[in-house]
C-alpha cells in the first residue's frame, strides 16, 4: 500500500543537500555564530524579496508578532482585532502584552478575516488589526488598509503562512506598519529549526525592534531598554538565504498540486474546495477541503495510507488557555464550523502528481463517485 505522509522534506531537502552542507561548513568555519554577516545578508535578501525597506531576523514567528506590538507601544487594555479562526500564535502575541483580544469572524469563502465585520468591532480602545493570510492566501488588504486609515489604527500582518502571496499585485508582509513571518520548518520558507522575521518600511520602528530583540542594546554592553534575546541565529540565517532562492519555485509546485486537486475534485458536491478571492494569490501553505463527514473521511484516508491534518481543531477562543476570556462556544459560529469540517490534504514540494491523483481517487471512492 502507498504511504503518503502529510508533510515530507525528503525530496526538497535531498535536492539542495549539497548547497546546505556547504552553507553549514561556511558558518561553522567562520567561528561567528550570533549577530553576524549571515543574518545581515539574509535580512537584506528577505527585505528585497518582500519589497520592504527593512527586514529584522528574529527567533520565531510568535516573537516577531510580539516584538512588533511591543515596539508599537501596545499596553494592557488596548484592543487588538484578530481573526477568530487563526493559529494560536496571533492571539498569544496580544496576550503577552495584556492587550484585549477582539475576535472577528472569517469569510466562509476565503477563511480570511471578513472585512465587512471589522468596523463594527472597532472601539475607542482599538489600536491595531492583525490580518492573518491564512493557509497561503492574501487577505483583502485594500479594504483593511482603508478601514485602518479611517480609524487611525495600525495594521500588523501575520504573514507566517503566505510568503510570496499578493493582493492586487502587492506582496503580503508589505502593507502593514510592520509585519511578522515565521520560518518554522514546515512553513513555505522553512529554516532547519525555529526562525522568523519582521518586515517594515518604517525606519524608526525597524531600529526599535532591532534593539528590543537584542537585549535592548545597539552597542554591546550598553542597554537602552529592557530588551529580549529574540535573535535569529547565523546558521539559520545562512540556511534561509539558500532556501529563499528556491521559494518561488516551491510555491509554484504547491500551486500545481493545488490545481490537480481542484481539477480532480471539482465535481464532488459533498466537499467544498478552497476559494480564491479574485484579487488575491494563494501560495497553498495548506490545501483545505471541507465536508460534514470530516472525521470519517480522515479515518478512511488514513486506512488508505494517506495522512491528513486539521488546521485547526479548536479556535483560540475555545482553547483551555483562554477559558478566562469566558467566551461561550457558539459565539463565533464560522470559526466553529471551520474547525468541525476542515481537512488539510498533503501538499508539499516534491509530492508526486501521481500521489495527488491517488489521494483524489480515494476521496472519490469514499463518496462513492
State how far the Cα of 286 lies from the Cα of 108, in Å rounded to an integer: 16
- Minimum gap (Å) between residue 226 Cβ and ligand PLP: 22
Q: What angle do CA 99, 101, 105 make, to 5 degrees?
A: 160
Interaction between residue 283 and ligand PLP (CB under 6 A) = no
Residue nearest to ligand PLP (CB): 61
- Minimum gap (Å) between residue 127 Cβ and ligand PLP: 19
62 vs 345 by CB, closer to ligand PLP? 62
State how far the Cα of 311 lies from the Cα of 325, in Å rounded to an integer: 22
Subset of residues 131 to 150 that bind ligand PLP, contact rule: CB under 6 A: 132
Exposure b/e, 321-334, CB count within 10 A at least 16 = b: ebeebebeeeebeb
160 vs 304 by CB, closer to ligand PLP? 160
Cβ proximity of 334 and 105 under 8 Å: yes
Residue 194 has phi, psi (to 5 degrees) of -80, 140
Q: How far apart are the first and last CA of the chain?
A: 21
38 vs 162 by CB, closer to ligand PLP? 162
90 vs 137 by CB, closer to ligand PLP? 90
Subset of residues 69 to 98 that bind ligand PLP, contact rule: CB under 6 A: 86-87, 89-90
- Minimum gap (Å) between residue 241 Cβ and ligand PLP: 18
Of 5, 61, 349, 54, which is closest to residue 188 (Cα–Cα)?
A: 349
Subset of residues 8 to 47 that bind ligand PLP, contact rule: CB under 6 A: none
Residue 334 DSSP symbol: H
196 vs 349 by CB, closer to ligand PLP? 196
3-state secondary structure of 233: strand
Alpha helix stretches (DSSP H) within 203-315: 203-213, 234-244, 247-264, 294-303
163 vs 362 by CB, closer to ligand PLP? 163
Of 220, 160, 227, which is closest to residue 195 (Cα–Cα)?
A: 160
- Minimum gap (Å) between residue 360 Cβ and ligand PLP: 26
Subset of residues 54 to 73 that bind ligand PLP, contact rule: CB under 6 A: 60-62
C-alpha cell of 289? 477541503
Q: What angle do CA 50, 62, 64 make, to 5 degrees?
A: 45
Cβ proximity of 182 and 280 under 8 Å: no
- Minimum gap (Å) between residue 40 Cβ and ligand PLP: 21
Query: Which region among 74-82, 154-162, 301-309, 313-321 touches ligand PLP (by CB under 6 A)?
Result: 154-162
- By CB under 6 A, the count of residues binding ligand PLP is 15
137 vs 291 by CB, closer to ligand PLP? 137
86 vs 208 by CB, closer to ligand PLP? 86
Query: Which region among 138-146, 147-155, 156-164, 341-349 touches ligand PLP (by CB under 6 A)?
Result: 156-164
78 vs 158 by CB, closer to ligand PLP? 158
Of 258, 260, 198, 165, which is closest to residue 68 (Cα–Cα)?
A: 198
Subset of residues 168 to 187 that bind ligand PLP, contact rule: CB under 6 A: 182, 184
Cβ proximity of 133 and 157 under 8 Å: yes
Work out which of 68, 160, 238, 339 binds ligand PLP, going by CB under 6 A: 160
Classify the C-alpha dihedral 219-221-223-228 as positive or negative: positive
Applying CB under 6 A, which residues contact ligand PLP? 60-62, 86-87, 89-90, 132, 158, 160-161, 182, 184, 194, 196
Amino acid at each position: 500500500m502507498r504511504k503518503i505522509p502529510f508533510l515530507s522534506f525528503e525530496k526538497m531537502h535531498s535536492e539542495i543537500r549539497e548547497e546546505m552542507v556547504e552553507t553549514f561548513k561556511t558558518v561553522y568555519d567562520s567561528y561567528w555564530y550570533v549577530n553576524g554577516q549571515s543574518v545581515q545578508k539574509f535580512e537584506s535578501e528577505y527585505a528585497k524579496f518582500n519589497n520592504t525597506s527593512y527586514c529584522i531576523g528574529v527567533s520565531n514567528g510568535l516573537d516577531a508578532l510580539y516584538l512588533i506590538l511591543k515596539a508599537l507601544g501596545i499596553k494592557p487594555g488596548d484592543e487588538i482585532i484578530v481573526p477568530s479562526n487563526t493559529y494560536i500564535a496571533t492571539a498569544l502575541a496580544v496576550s503577552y502584552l495584556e492587550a484585549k483580544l477582539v475576535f472577528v469572524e472569517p469569510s466562509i469563502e476565503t477563511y480570511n478575516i471578513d472585512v465587512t465585520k471589522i468596523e463594527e468591532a472597532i472601539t475607542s480602545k482599538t489600536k491595531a488589526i492583525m490580518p492573518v493570510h491564512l493557509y497561503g492566501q492574501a487577505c483583502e488588504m485594500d479594504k483593511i488598509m482603508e478601514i485602518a486609515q479611517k480609524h487611525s489604527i495600525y495594521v500588523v500582518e501575520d504573514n507566517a503562512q503566505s510568503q510570496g502571496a499578493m493582493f492586487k499585485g502587492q506582496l503580503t508582509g508589505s502593507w502593514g506598519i510592520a509585519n511578522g513571518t515565521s520560518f518554522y520548518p514546515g512553513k513555505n520558507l522553512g529554516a532547519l529549526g525555529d526562525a522568523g522575521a519582521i518586515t517594515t518600511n518604517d525606519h524608526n520602528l525597524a531600529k526599535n525592534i532591532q534593539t528590543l530583540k537584542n537585549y535592548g542594546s545597539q552597542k554591546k554592553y550598553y542597554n537602552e531598554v529592557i530588551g529580549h534575546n529574540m535573535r535569529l541565529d547565523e546558521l539559520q540565517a545562512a540556511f534561509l538565504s539558500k532556501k529563499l532562492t528556491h521559494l518561488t519555485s516551491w510555491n509554484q509546485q504547491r500551486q500545481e498540486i493545488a490545481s490537480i486537486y481542484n481539477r480532480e475534485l471539482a465535481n464532488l458536491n459533498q466537499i467544498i474546495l478552497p476559494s480564491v478571492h479574485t484579487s488575491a494569490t494563494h501560495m497553498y501553505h495548506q490545501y483545505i477541503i471541507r465536508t460534514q463527514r470530516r472525521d470519517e473521511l480522515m479515518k478512511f484516508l488514513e486506512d488508505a495510507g494517506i495522512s491528513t491534518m486539521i488546521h485547526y481543531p479548536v479556535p483560540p477562543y475555545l482553547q483551555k488557555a483562554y477559558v478566562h476570556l469566558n467566551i461561550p462556544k457558539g459565539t463565533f459560529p464560522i470559526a466553529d464550523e471551520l474547525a468541525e469540517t476542515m481537512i488539510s490534504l498533503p501538499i508539499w514540494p516534491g509530492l508526486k502528481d501521481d500521489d495527488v491523483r491517488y489521494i483524489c481517487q480515494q476521496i472519490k471512492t469514499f463518496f462513492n463517485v
